[in-house]
Amino acid sequence: MAKADLKWTFSIENTERLGLNAKSGLITYAVSGIATSPDGEDSAFIATNNLDPRYPERFKVNWNGSKARMPLATGHGIGDDVVQAAAPVTAGFLLSRGARIAIAAKCKVLLGNSLEPTADEVPAVPEADDEDAS
């Protein structure tokens, strides 16, 4: 079982746009990447946004809800729709907190300006009739 820390290098390989999140109003992305150890061993990870309703714009890697610092395998707690859209993760691969923060920062830089939907993507809200307002 490998555990990535800040001595590893991280690269984003693929981003998949999943759609608009109804609660946050932001676009959800599945991000696939490769972490490379100092020895040259590659391990795959995934990240996504819209996991924490308090901070939907933040990207999470190895998300574990209220136990976010628990060392569980990469991909734990990430929705099935994201897992299916992303490349498969390496079994038993762990990421230190610093590594998760570094990956999330890369995701934010890459996709931060793409989280807000365009006017065409926002569902139309029906306008109230003047007669109903009286």
pLDDT at residue 1, as a whole number: 63
Domain that holds residue 86: 3-115
Query: What average pLDDT does this structure show over 32-60?
Result: 86
Q: What is the rounded CA–CA span in Å between residue 49 and residue 5?
A: 21
pLDDT at residue 27, as a whole number: 86
Q: What is the rounded CA–CA span in Å between residue 72 and residue 103?
A: 16
pLDDT at residue 62, as a whole number: 66
Determine, yes or no, domain membership for 134: no
Determine, yes or no, domain membership for 120: no
Share of the chain above pLDDT 70, in %: 75
Determine, yes or no, domain membership for 108: yes
Q: How distant is the alpha carbon of residue 106 from its chain centre? A: 11
Q: What is the pTM of this model?
A: 0.74
Determine, yes or no, domain membership for 44: yes
In this model, does residue 124 exceed pLDDT 90?
no
What's the total number of domains in the chain?
A: 1
pLDDT at residue 24, as a whole number: 84
pLDDT at residue 69, as a whole number: 52
pLDDT in tens, 69-91: 545 556 556 777 777 777 778 87
Please give the C-alpha separations between residue 15 and each of 27, 32, 46, in angstroms, as whole numbers. Answer: 12, 6, 10
Determine, yes or no, domain membership for 104: yes
Determine, yes or no, domain membership for 36: yes
DSSP-assigned beta bridge partners for residue 29: 17
pLDDT at residue 90, as a whole number: 82
Determine, yes or no, domain membership for 81: yes
Q: Considering only residues 43 and 83, tell me which one the structure prediction assigns the higher pLDDT.
A: 43
Determine, yes or no, domain membership for 103: yes
